[in-house]
Amino acid sequence: MTKDPYKIIQHAFISEKSMNMLYPELKVRTDLTINSNKLTFIVHPKATKTDIKWAVEKLFSVKVEKVNIMHSLRGKKAIVRLAKGYSAEEVGSRVGVF
């Protein structure tokens, strides 16, 4: 895998669920709060979690807390949780999600 962040991160994945994960705190019930602050991307099929973390940090000047990968019919998806102090909403607006 070449170290080109533009080849690792192909494009943002936008769905209703991924839009809900942008917000830092989502109140499901009065006693349960889910800390999301996550972005979803379609990534290169051979990209590893470490590659994805590096590419997101390089492209968007943020710190990544965790990367989850899943395979779907549309390709390999990465769900990236940003560290505290960074806003997925802000990065999403820079990517063109809104």
Instruction: Please tell me the predicted confidence (pLDDT) of residue 66.
Output: 94
Set out the domains of the chain in order of their start, with CATH numbers: 5-95 (3.30.70.330)
Tens digit of pLDDT per residue, the chain (98 long)? 678 999 999 998 888 777 777 776 656 665 555 668 889 999 999 999 999 999 999 999 999 999 999 998 889 999 999 998 898 888 888 877 76
Residue 24: the pLDDT is: 62
Question: How confident is the model at residue 1, as a pLDDT?
Answer: 62
Question: Are the CB atoms for 42 and 93 separated by under 8 Å?
Answer: no
Give the pLDDT confidence score for residue 72 in this predicted structure: 86
On whether the CB atoms of residues 80 and 63 are closer than 8 A, the answer is: no
Q: pTM (2 decimals)?
A: 0.84
Q: What is the pLDDT of residue 20?
A: 74
Residue 27, pLDDT score: 61
> Positive or negative CA dihedral for 6, 11, 17, 21?
positive
Residue 61: its pLDDT value, please? Answer: 94
